[in-house]
Amino acid sequence: MKDLIEIPTLTSASFEELAREMLVRLGEQPSREGLISTPERYTKALKYLTKGYNEDPEEILKGALFTVDYDEMVIVKDIEMFSLCEHHVLPFFGKVHVAYIPKGRVIGLSKTARLVEVFARRLQVQERLTVQIAETIQNTIQPLGVGVVIEARHLCMMMRGVEKQHSATVTSSMLGAFRAQQTRQEFLSLINHENSNGI
């Protein structure tokens, strides 16, 4: 019978120790050349991929709000997104399309992408991520409406389980004016439109 390995309690073990223990339980030798620094690298990577827990999404938006006389749809499309599924801690990735109709204030364009990043850098499900982005914009600038669409591929479906390589998941959240069929359709048409310049 193999000797039992003593596992440090959660309160006393460092993240690196827990990662090293995980390697042992997978049947690996953490002392071999390729794995010596893996617990440290894994810790740094996971902390970076979940750094959104330490950021305030509303404060990010409030840092770049501008008063303008504009009441047509503003769209930031094709925002690249990478996140970790909370069920298997495997990546899912894709594109986020965000639109809103301002009511006196607009968001600095880069802040829309930063907002997506804050929520994506947490353990997530795509449905919640979609709603969080929309509701934060709605609560922060009180526009006439907000629409968010996310198209993503999930490695938990591609690498394991059903192992379907080409399936994509599309989710949407429509608030305020975007609940009206005409506004919703205009948004969906604009994000699906590709002109000759590829914009």
Within 13 Å, how many C-alpha atoms sit on residue 186's CB side?
14
38 and 120 housed in the same domain: no
73 and 35 housed in the same domain: no
d(CA 93, CA 144): 29
**Does 2 map to a domain?**
no
Whether the Cβ atoms of residue 30 and residue 38 lie closer than 8 Å to each other:
yes
84 and 177 housed in the same domain: yes
Least trusted range by pLDDT, from 73-82, 144-153, 167-176, 189-198: 189-198
pLDDT over 50 (residue 199): no
Q: Which domain holds residue 41?
A: 15-49
Q: What residues form DSSP beta bridges with 80?
A: 95
- The CB density around residue 118, as the number of other CB atoms within 10 Å, is 22
pLDDT of residue 149: 98
Largest CA distance in the chain: 76
pLDDT over 70 (residue 3): no
Entry pTM: 0.88
In angstroms, what CA-CA distances link 85 with 90, 116, 128, 153, 160?
Answer: 5, 15, 11, 11, 13
Domain count, the chain: 2
100 and 80 housed in the same domain: yes
pLDDT of residue 166: 77
**Does 73 map to a domain?**
yes
110 and 177 housed in the same domain: yes
**Does 152 map to a domain?**
yes
What residues are annotated to the active site?
Answer: 85-88, 126, 154, 156
Which residues lie below 8 Å from residue 25, measured CB to CB, with a gap of 6+? none
% pLDDT > 90, the chain? 82
